[in-house]
Amino acid sequence: MLPVILGCLALSALTLLFPSTPTYDPWAWIMWGREITHLDLVTEGGPSWKPLPVLFTTPFSLFGAEAAPMLWLWIGRAGALLSLAMAFRLGRRLTGEGLPGWVGGVCATLFLLTTYQFVRDSMLGNSEAMLAALALWAFERHLDGRRDHALYLGFAAALLRPEAWPFLGLYGLWLWFRDPELRLRIAAIGVAVPVLWFGPELWGSGEPLRASSRANNPNPGSAAFADNPGLEVVKRFAERTVIPLFAAALVAVALAGRAWLRDRREGATLALGGIAFAWIALVGVMTEAGYAGNQRYLVVTTAALCVLGGVGVGWLFARLRSLADGLTGSVGRGLAVTGVVALLGVVVLSPVIRDKADNIDVTLDVLRYEASLWDTLPGMIEKGGGRDRILACGNVYSGPFQTQMVAYELGIHGIDVGALFGTPAPGVVFRTKTRTTSPIVPKLTDPRMRLVTTSGRWRLVTAPRSDARGRACPSGGPDAPRVAPRSVTPELRSSR
């Protein structure tokens, strides 16, 4: 695996040559890493806590404010590349030797690469692709007989998503009786998981279960708001998974089931299918309990399904080649016939391939736009008079998905940037568009707010405090938008 990991790190470093930025959750992890080094952790106002990313971002913060975000993107994207490599390795392994194995591995990789928002989420530093890599790697290590390695990788996965806890717990319980020499390590992991999840939250917010409470407040449009949240999770997953992938995965499961019933073969393929089903069922149950049920939480199901799809294609390829060899009496002719069948398959799937190709430009546009937000934010701060003058205005506001970025660049805590309850004076507002087609956010809810300046993607609006400190705040001009005040009664903390 060492050459694979080094290759993923090298390719990930090359992606940083293109416009890059973290998104909402990664900005919080990067900021928390910096706060830990200053012994001033505040997790309120941000997303749910995740231990594994912060184990990276804490040392990364020592390299400076500009380098830390890029270092996390480097690791996050390497994790995504590793998930593609693991999909190939497992797809090839489960399909079998020779050319069919290569077909299965390549198809598994392509299936995963083109799944819903995989590239976008990975490029923006989200951790779900890394979770897929750890899960597939743990599965492979178990098949290799290195159950200790599988345990460690499961531990790392459990530091990314709580859905991994039941799987790690059951595996640890099985190992407790199967491999007694691992009991001390199993016990240590059993203690480390809750300590690393709940300890920092107790420090940063005073509430060890804040992450759970935060996850029980999903964004509008979440599956949690459906009449049947659990079924809605499955429905959305099915709608966003292409039919050929489903069909190929079903072929793999059906053929593996037949082989298992006949002579107890292909148990690993069936086990992978069982993990995929159990994971989506668990997410559905958690969504019924009020959690968000976002599609990216299903990444383990997605990755397993993509591997199964690759295996299904590989097995079909092997059977077609065998049939062609039998009909023509020549291996060379059989391969030629198989090539024609493969070409026909490409033609049949051309609508799916075209849709995936069309989505590339859309994804690249989104990534370029989000990168431009971070790229132009420091210039906005400088043009507005600098950090100290801006903080002299009072409360700080931004759009809901920009709060962590703005807090990071201003050197304040995430809780110190308001977004959800309006923009009452005194304060300063960083306004922008979340997407190129989105309205400017946040909405101005106080008519005293005045436009100060614009820079790149941003507009700076202020209404200074009335005390001596407020006189340092950059004042708005008469061309600021005037809006009727809305009835908002937020409990906002002043900037520290």
pTM of the predicted structure, to 2 decimals? 0.89
Q: What is the dihedral of CA 189, 191, 192, 198, to 10 degrees?
A: 140
Q: Indicate if the pLDDT at residue 88 is higher than 50.
A: yes
173 falls in which pLDDT band (50, 70, 90)?
A: very high
Return d(Cα 282, Cα 291) in angstroms, integer. 11
Of 300 and 437, more confident: 300
Check if the beta carbon of residue 435 is closer than 8 Å to that of residue 370: no
Of 90 and 116, more confident: 90
Q: In this structure, what token pair is assigned to residue 185?
A: 């390590």
The tens digit of pLDDT for each residue in 175-205 reads: 999 999 999 999 999 999 999 999 999 999 9
The tens digit of pLDDT for each residue in 35-78 reads: 999 999 999 988 989 999 999 999 999 999 999 999 999 999 99
Print the SS3 string covering 381-432: HHHCCCHHHHHCCCEEEECCCCHHHHHHHHCCCHHHEECCCCCCCCEEEEEE
DSSP 440: E
CA angle 418, 423, 427 (to 5 degrees): 80
Return d(Cα 141, Cα 90) in angstroms, integer. 11
| Pairing mode, strands 458-463 and 427-433 | antiparallel
Q: In this structure, what token pair is assigned to residue 120?
A: 């976008």
DSSP 494: P
The tens digit of pLDDT for each residue in 212-236 reads: 777 666 666 677 778 788 888 888 8
Q: How far apart are the two ends of the chain, measured CA to CA in Å?
A: 46
Q: How far is CA 456 from the centre of its chain?
A: 27
Check if the beta carbon of residue 218 is closer than 8 Å to that of residue 225: yes
pLDDT at 415: 94
| DSSP secondary structure letters along 462-486 | EE--SSTGGGGSPPP-TTS------
Q: In this structure, what token pair is assigned to residue 106?
A: 């390549």
Phi-psi region of 116 (alpha: psi -120 to 50; beta: other; left: phi over 0): beta
Q: In this structure, what token pair is assigned to residue 443?
A: 């909405």
Q: In this structure, what token pair is assigned to residue 251?
A: 């072929």
Q: Indicate if the pLDDT at residue 436 is higher than 90.
A: no
Check if the beta carbon of residue 335 is closer than 8 Å to that of residue 113: no
Query: Exposure of 343 by Cβ count < 10 A (0-12 exposed, 13-18 middle, 19+ buried)?
Result: exposed
Q: Indicate if the pLDDT at residue 350 is higher than 60.
A: no
* Maximum Cα interatomic distance, the chain, rounded to a whole number of Å: 93
Closest CA to 285 of 329, 362, 223: 223
Q: In this structure, what token pair is assigned to residue 124?
A: 């923006």
Mean pLDDT along residues 455-477: 89
Q: Indicate if the pLDDT at residue 362 is higher than 80.
A: no
Residue 17, H or E segment? none
Phi, psi of 39 (to 5 degrees): 55, 40
Check if the beta carbon of residue 312 is closer than 8 Å to that of residue 249: yes
Alpha helices by DSSP H, listed for 206-266, are 210-215, 229-239, 243-263
Which is it for the CA torsion 303, 305, 311, 313, positive or negative? negative
Q: What percent of the chain has pLDDT over 70?
A: 87
Q: Indicate if the pLDDT at residue 337 is higher than 60.
A: no
Check if the beta carbon of residue 159 is closer than 8 Å to that of residue 52: yes
The tens digit of pLDDT for each residue in 256-279 reads: 999 999 999 999 999 999 999 999
Question: Mean pLDDT of all residues in the chain?
Answer: 87
| Pairing mode, strands 395-398 and 427-433 | parallel
